[in-house]
Amino acid sequence: MLGHVNDDLLSIGQFARLTRLSVKQLRHYASLGLLEPAWIDPASGYRYYRTTQPEVDLTDPEVLRDPFTAYGRAREAGPLARLLIPGLGPVWALTRHDGARAMLGDARFALTADSFMRPPVPDDCLPYMRTMSEMSGPEHARLRKLAAPAFTPRRAAEFRPRIEAVVGALLDDLPAHADGGRVDLLRHFARPLPMDVICALVGIPEHDRPHWREWGAIIAAGAGGDFARAIPGIIAGAKAAVAAARTDPGAYGGVLADLVRAQAEDGDRLTDTEIVTMVWHLVLAGQTPANLIANAVAALLSHPGQLAAVRDDPALMPTAVEELIRWCGPTLLAIPRHARRDVDLYGTTVPEGAKVTALIAAANRDPRVFADPDRLDVTRAPGAGHLGFAHGPHFCLGASLARVQTQAAIAALLRRFPGLALAAPAGELRAPDPGTWRLTALPVTL
C-alpha cells in the first residue's frame, strides 16, 4: 500500500498491525523520527502518528502485480520512501534517478553481510559464504581488481564469437524441446546460455558444467530453499575447479587460471578460501542475463512496432538492449545498504545502521531524466543512463558480458525464427517478486 503524509492518522497499535512489527519496535522508530506525532487525543492521552514519507508495502498484491506503477507513485510522491517488509522493519528507499545514483556511490552507505538473506549452510561452508559483494573499501577493491580484467568491454567483445557459438548450439536444439508446437524459451535458452558462457570465461572444466547448469537454474528461479540445499555441492564444485586449475593451469584458461597464477606469484594477494569463494560467486552471479534475456524477448514480442524496428535494423541492437535494461531489466530494488552513521536525506535523518535501498524500477522511469519514460523505445538515446547494473563501487562486474550476451542472444533468435511469437501472455507468467522482475516460464511458438 502507498501512504502519504496527510493520510489517516494511526495509533501505535494500528501501525503495529499494518507493519506486523511490535509496539516496542514502533515506539523506537517514533523516537528516531520515522513516525511524526500528529495529534494527542485530549480525552485518552493517546498519541496518533502519521508517516513522514510515502510508503510501499511489498506484500501488497498490487505491488507484486505491477511494481513499476507502485514504485512510480512513490517516486512522484517524494524522493525518499519507506518500504514495509515483514520481519525486516522499514527500509528507506531512494525513488528518483539522481538520489538513487548518488546513494549507490556514497561511501556512507555500505553493503554488509546483513544486506543479504544468507541461507542456512553447514559449518564447513561458512568460510566460503562471504563474497566481495559484502565487502567495501580496500578489501573489496583488492578482490575486484583481481577479477576485473576478465570483464572489461574489450574482453567481452573478444569473447563474442564464443558466446555466439553457445547461442547457436542452443538454438539448434530448441525445436527438439517443442511440445505441441510450444517451447519454453526460459528453460531451454535464456537460463542455460549465461551458465555456459560464464563457465567458459571462468574456466570451469567441461565435465563439471552440467552440475553448474543445475545450480544456475536454481539461482535464476529464485529458489531460496533449493539454493540452501545446493550450497555444499556448489562449494565442492568450486574447490574441484580450483584444484584442476592448479594441476594444469593451461588446460582450462580463463579467470580461474589467472587467479591461480596470481596466488602463485604472491600468496598474500589471495587466500585459498578467497579463490574458492570468488569462483562460485562469479559463476552464479553470472546468471543475471537469464532473466534479462527472457524479459527482453517477452517485451519485444509484446510490442510489434519495436520488434519490427530491431528486425529491420540490426545495428540498433546495442541501443535496443540498453533500452530494454532500462524498461524491463530484472533488478527492481538495489541490494540494501546500511547507513554507517546518521545521514540527512532530503531533510530526514536516516539513523546509523538503517537499511537503505534504491528503487531501480522507479529511477529508470524517472520523467526528470527520461522523456516519456513508460514507453519502450528501442531508438532511445542513452542519455543519463539507466541504473540496471547499479552504480558506484559495486557496479555490476559482468555488465559488459551481460550486454554482449543479450545482444547476441536476441539477434540470433530473431534471425533464426522470424515467426517467433508468445504462446501465452507474459503477464500471466510473472513471479510475484517485488525485488526482481522475472518470468517463471516463457512459452513461445517458433
pLDDT (tens digit per residue) in 191-245? 999 999 999 888 888 888 888 888 877 776 665 677 778 888 889 999 998 888 8
Query: How far is the CA of 427 from the CAs of 90, 201, 430, 431, in angstroms?
Result: 29, 34, 6, 9
User: What's the CA gap between 359 and 196, in Å, rounded?
Assistant: 31
3-state secondary structure of 106: coil
Each residue's pLDDT tens digit, 281-310: 888 888 889 999 999 999 999 999 999 999
> Which of these, 344, 373, 350, lies nearest to 361 by C-alpha position?
373
User: What's the CA gap between 321 and 240, in Å, rounded?
Assistant: 36
Task: State the DSSP code for 424.
Answer: S
Q: Residue 9: pLDDT above 60?
A: no
Q: How many domains does the chain fold into?
A: 1
> Residue 325: what pLDDT?
97
Instruction: Give the domain extent around 210.
Output: 123-328+385-445
pLDDT band at residue 87 under the 50/70/90 scheme? low
> Is the Cβ–Cβ distance between 366 and 309 less than 8 Å?
no
Average pLDDT of span 317-344: 95
Asked whether residue 51 is assigned to any structural domain, the reply reads no
Total-model pTM: 0.85
User: What's the CA gap between 361 and 331, in Å, rounded?
Assistant: 7
Asked whether residue 78 is assigned to any structural domain, the reply reads no
User: What's the CA gap between 15 and 30, in Å, rounded?
Assistant: 11
**Mean pLDDT score across all residues of the chain:** 86
Higher model confidence: residue 278 or residue 16? Answer: 278
Q: Which segments within 332-419 are labelled E, that is strand? A: 337-339, 343-345, 348-350, 355-358
> Residue 25: what pLDDT?
58
- Residue 203, domain CATH: 1.10.630.10
Asked whether residue 56 is assigned to any structural domain, the reply reads no
Percentage of residues of the chain with pLDDT beyond 70: 85
Asked whether residue 379 is assigned to any structural domain, the reply reads no
Asked whether residue 54 is assigned to any structural domain, the reply reads no
Alpha-helical segments (H) within 121-208: 137-147, 153-158, 160-173, 185, 192-202
Asked whether residue 112 is assigned to any structural domain, the reply reads no
> Is the Cβ–Cβ distance between 2 and 55 less than 8 Å?
yes
Sheet bearing 89-94, strands edge to edge: 2-3, 55-57, 80-85, 89-94, 355-358, 337-339, 109-110
Each residue's pLDDT tens digit, 342-388: 999 988 889 999 999 999 999 999 999 999 999 999 999 877 799 99
User: What's the CA gap between 47 and 24, in Å, rounded?
Assistant: 14
User: What's the CA gap between 65 and 241, in Å, rounded?
Assistant: 41
> Residue 172: what pLDDT?
97
Asked whether residue 293 is assigned to any structural domain, the reply reads yes
> Residue 4: what pLDDT?
31
Pairing of strands 355-358, 89-94: parallel
Asked whether residue 148 is assigned to any structural domain, the reply reads yes
Number of CB atoms found within 10 A of residue 432's CB: 11
